[in-house]
Amino acid sequence: MILIASTTAQLTTIASQIITFAGNEKIFLFHGNMGAGKTTLIKSLCECLGITDAVTSPTFALVNEYIGARGKIYHFDFYRTKNQTEALDMGCEEYFYSGNHCFIEWPEKVPDMLPGHYISISIKVLNDDSREIIVEKI
């Protein structure tokens, strides 16, 4: 599925489409350059799943936990991870296989720990305001 976001206001609709497309899948991997809008899209997905708390990037904490109407959501940012052992030591696999939603930024930093099935979301900057969002079931 290919979606185009020309404004951040469109992300609410796009998030709803992604959640519907995902069905029962709860692992989401986000790919895109720094500043592409991964965290911004995750905020919209969290809102769609009933999170009312502030959603922020867990750049230094590695993982943030949100509790909403549909249960827990774990938001990972592995950008600053030096190696996979660091992610393993913080127990990331327990989160991934918990049955809860997991939104994972920079998954390429922990390739050997990722589940075999997930939703891949690639965000490409088209210009200052527009993004191409490619969503695939893997």
2-137 folds as Rossmann fold (3.40.50)
| Sign of the four-CA dihedral 71, 61, 20, 54 | positive
Digit-coded pLDDT (tens) for 93-105: 899 999 999 999 9
Please write the tens of the pLDDT for every residue from 80-89. Answer: 888 888 888 8
- Sorted by where each begins, the domain ranges of the chain are 2-137
Write the pLDDT tens digit of every residue in 121-136.
999 999 888 999 999 9
- Burial-class residue 96 by CB neighbours within 10 Å (0-12, 13-18, 19+): buried
